[in-house]
Amino acid sequence: MTRSLETAIEHFPIAGSFTISRGSKTTASVVTCRIAEGGFAGIGECVPYGRYDETVDSVMAEIEVIRPKIEAGLGRNDLLSAMKAGAARNAVDCALWDLEAKTSGKHVFAIANLGEPQPLTTAYTISLGEPEAMASQAAHYAHRALLKVKIGTADDASRIRAVRAAAPDCAIILDANEGWTEANLTHHFAVCAKAGVTLIEQPLPAGHDGLLASVSRPVPVCADESVHKTEDLPKLVGLYDAVNIKLDKTGGLTEALRMRDAARVLNLKIMVGCMVGTSLGMAPAILLAQGAEFVDLDGPLLLARDREPGLRYEASLVLPPIPALWG
């Protein structure tokens, strides 16, 4: 049966701007992959990330290289060795999952031998800014159960205190995006402990993880930039308490499910995160996030415009995708 592959670059405006320690952006640029076969078509989305030397053009080029094999019938498991981990493989992998669901008439969760997905409590992201601006954001969203707060400056203490004062009842995840240093690590840990922070994500630059073994960690710490695939996990044991699994890092749902299971064996807690993308990019991650200790799948909530149909959000809950969206 003949297959065809199509790719496209799409741009979705962000509501306001999205700011982390590495900069700001006002548009989410995504690459979609559509694989058609036998009257059915599966689709996947990825978000190229400059931190990992990805652009929309480089991702499009990666997918173009694999086109002959995809159109010849390459499957998901063989894709793991045919493409490197990253955004490009994520788009292809998720499109293949969606295609299999449509051709078989089964949900992806059933094909993957997973339980039927349930609604999840997701974090809502507070962008990096001056303490007063971040406090204003936090106060506006203080009705949410979980906030993910972007930090990563030389003076995060004032930002942490301001956000906690503005949202006293929220659980808080802090994401430093590699912005802390050996000089301020212990100080920031102490501030986080006093503020009742639930989790600190990637405080130090990737490659400097060993420093975490030399200090007291009063708040659990989660790896993000330091973990991309299953093979990365053993070196994190004893340094981190949790790992952030993102489909755009692992290169799709297939590898992400393997990584989640391997992390559980190593007694690492699971956070399932996302880049700023549309509901199409979040949908497969909802299956991955079932049973995770921390869920951060708020990408569509940060956009001025999402796909239609999109995911349904109710207060702090995100509901499983309908088949018309994915899976």
Active site members: 150, 246
Yes or no: say if 171 and 146 are a contact pair by the CB < 8 Å rule. yes
Closest C-alpha to 247, from 65, 17, 55, 44 = 44
Cis peptide before 309 (omega within 30 of 0): yes
Which distant-in-sequence residues (6+ apart) come within 8 Å of 24 by Cβ?
17, 18, 127
Angstrom distance (rounded) from CA 172 to CA 291: 19
**Tokens 């503005």 belong to which residue?**
166
**Tokens 């405080």 belong to which residue?**
203
**Count of C-beta atoms within a 10 Å radius of residue 211:** 15
Enclosing H/E stretch for 79 = helix 76-82
Q: Is 16 helix (H, G, I), strand (E, B) or coil?
A: strand
Q: What order of strands is seen across the sheet that includes strand 294-295? A: 124-126, 146-150, 171-175, 199-201, 221-223, 242-245, 269-272, 294-295
CA atoms within 13 A on the CB side of 154: 0
Angstrom distance (rounded) from CA 121 to CA 187: 30
Give 34's strand partners.
6, 43
